[in-house]
A and B are shown apart, each in its own frame.
Chain A
Amino acid sequence: DAGITQSPRHKVTETGTPVTLRCHQTENHRYMYWYRQDPGHGLRLIHYSYGVKDTDKGEVSDGYSVSRSKTEDFLLTLESATSSQTSVYFCAISGPGLAGPAANTGELFFGEGSRLTVL
């Protein structure tokens, strides 16, 4: 199994407060992603990173920012949480790592998810 850890796994917060979710990987994969999962919408891409300090927006990036200062960590920040950001957030990784020279197959490995409730 790919070594991906998300923290916290559960969080309840109030509207207007800042929230940071952390994704940590031990695979040295190049690509890291943040998705949110909501009923009827499936998994929607928020932001992704294709290298240290290299990030790009996904389809639902408004209200979110990300940072990747190290290969192994990808942080998702909600500067001022709103009730519409109540969701389950999944981190995923892909791409070649130290395990071998194979090119990026496109396969994503997902973390266990972080359930965020904004009251």
Chain B
Amino acid sequence: GENVEQHPSTLSVQEGDSAVIKCTYSDSASNYFPWYKQELGKGSQLIIDIRSNVGEKKDQRIAVTLNKTAKHFSLHITETQPEDSAVYFCAAHFRRALTFGSGTRLQVQP
């Protein structure tokens, strides 16, 4: 099956700085790579996604890059704000389900 590795497990940045979270996947058949944000006590919500026929995608302060050859993808958050503090999960779509990374706890210090 698919295996997704995510790093770092915790990340602390100053407000206004950039944050980068990296993931690698194992199965080259995976073709959809979403990122989810989980706020305390809530279910996760999709924030951005990318498909295997695209190398980069941006949505305001958030961007995702995909390197199919190396089987890794990254989440970039620029101009971080305190409300960006949350747990972020990457995932890869394999067969009929998503396999998730272990999560990154992002803390944005005011």
Contacts and interface: CB of A to CB of B under 8 A. Distances in A.
Interface in A70-107: 90, 92, 106-107
Contacts of B93: 106
Interface residues of A, number: 24
Contact of A42 (B32, B41, B97, B102): B102
B102 A41 contact: yes
A108 B37 CA distance: 12
Contacts of A118: none
A111 B101 CA distance: 19
Chain B interface SS verdict (over half) = strand
B26 interface: no
B100 to A, nearest CB: 4
Contacts of B44: 43, 90, 108, 110
A45 B99 contact: yes
A63 interface: no
Contact of A110 (B45, B49, B99): B45
Nearest to A45: B97
Given A42-B100, A42-B103, A45-B97, A106 B1 contact: no
Interface of B: 1, 6, 9, 32, 34, 36, 41-46, 49, 89, 91, 93, 96-103
17 contacts: A40-B102, A43-B89, A43-B91, A45-B98, A45-B99, A48-B96, A58-B97, A59-B99, A90-B43, A90-B44, A106-B34, A107-B46, A108-B34, A108-B36, A110-B36, A110-B43, A112-B41
